């Protein structure tokens, strides 16, 4: 009697496993594409397919659509049900969103202890938004013990993992000596890191440092360069500063009322549409 060929059975099972995985990946990709195109109901139909709906990424996006009322009737309670399923499967985005629901009482009673629990889980997975949130909670003492050193730890991690605005705030800590020894030179190092990553606030603070010679050699040219870069990135304060520079003829430029008005109008327009 011929014995069953377990090797062939294993190979076939492995083939089915990868085939199913590819189908799920295709459905997720199509669901995301449709979502990005604003076709929310079509996106939902892909994400709700039996072989896809159990994936944490699908659950998270379904939860978000219920949270925002995109393609479905807005229902924060249903959103939280989906977030919880995905969060328990380890989705950092779902964990963060669930934390927000508990923080603000969206679809559930406010509960800062639960909010912090889920924010921390997401932050421990290097999710930058959650790391920034842990920084904010720790520096304000909201739901956790107020601790500047712990806050700095979270913000450094957030910066390393993609929240480039964190560099601007870390720099401010050192600039003002809040929770750390005042160190303008070190502040500038963080501003440079954020500025080179394209963060408008870091570019603004770096421009201010060059303009005042605070923590770095005073340099009108570099100050103007970074004010312009910050303005290009939509920073209203940089636009207003450029308007003042041209109005008063500061930083080595000639007075230019037309240029000053141009920057003021850009700032007003940006504020109107933000």
Separation CA 70–CA 72 (nearest Å) = 5
Q: pTM (2 decimals)?
A: 0.72
What end-to-end distance do the CA atoms of the chain give, in Å? 77
Please state the rounded mean pLDDT for residues 61-89: 97
Kindly report which listed range (13-17, 57-61, 89-93, 180-184) carries the lowest average pLDDT score: 13-17
Q: How far is CA 74 from CA 59, 91, 164, 229, 248, in A?
A: 16, 22, 32, 39, 52
Q: What is the pLDDT of residues 115-155, one digit of tens each?
A: 999 999 999 999 999 999 999 899 889 999 998 888 888 98
Supply the mean pLDDT for the chain.
90
The predicted structure's pLDDT at residue 13: 41
Q: How far is CA 156 from CA 167, 168, 170, 178, 195, in A?
A: 8, 11, 7, 15, 15
Q: Is residue 96 a contact partner of residue 127, using CB atoms and an 8 Å limit?
A: yes
Closest CA to 98 of 122, 118, 113: 118
pLDDT confidence tier of residue 5, bands split at 50, 70 and 90: very low
Query: Which residue ranges form the domains of the chain, and what is each CATH number?
Result: 37-125 (1.25.40.10)
């Amino acid at each position: 009697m011929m014995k069953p060929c377990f090797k062939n059975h294993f190979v076939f099972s492995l083939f089915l496993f990868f085939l199913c995985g590819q189908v799920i990946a295709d459905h997720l990709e199509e669901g995301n594409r449709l979502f990005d195109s604003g076709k929310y109901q079509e996106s939902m139909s892909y994400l709700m397919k039996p072989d896809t709906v159990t994936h944490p990424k699908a659950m998270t996006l379904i939860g978000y659509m219920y949270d925002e009322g995109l393609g479905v009737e807005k229902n924060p309670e249903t959103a939280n049900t989906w977030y919880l399923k995905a969060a328990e499967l380890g989705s950092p985005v779902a964990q963060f969103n669930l934390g927000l629901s508990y923080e603000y009482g969206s679809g559930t009673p406010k509960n800062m202890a639960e909010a912090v629990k889920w924010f921390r889980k997401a932050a421990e997975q290097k999710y930058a938004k959650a790391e920034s949130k842990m920084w904010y909670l720790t520096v304000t003492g909201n739901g956790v013990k107020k601790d500047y050193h712990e806050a700095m730890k979270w913000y450094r991690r957030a910066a390393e993992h993609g929240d480039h605005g964190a560099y601007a705030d870390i720099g401010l800590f050192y600039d003002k000596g809040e929770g750390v020894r005042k160190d303008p030179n070190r502040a500038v190092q963080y501003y440079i890191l954020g500025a080179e990553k394209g963060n408008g606030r870091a570019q603004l603070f770096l421009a201010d440092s060059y303009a005042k010679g605070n923590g770095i050699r005073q340099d009108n040219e570099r100050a103007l360069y970074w004010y312009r870069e910050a303005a290009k990135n939509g920073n209203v304060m940089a636009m207003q500063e450029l308007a003042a520079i041209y109005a008063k003829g500061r930083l080595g430029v000639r007075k230019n009322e037309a240029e000053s008005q141009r920057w003021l109008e850009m700032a007003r327009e940006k504020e109107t549409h933000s």
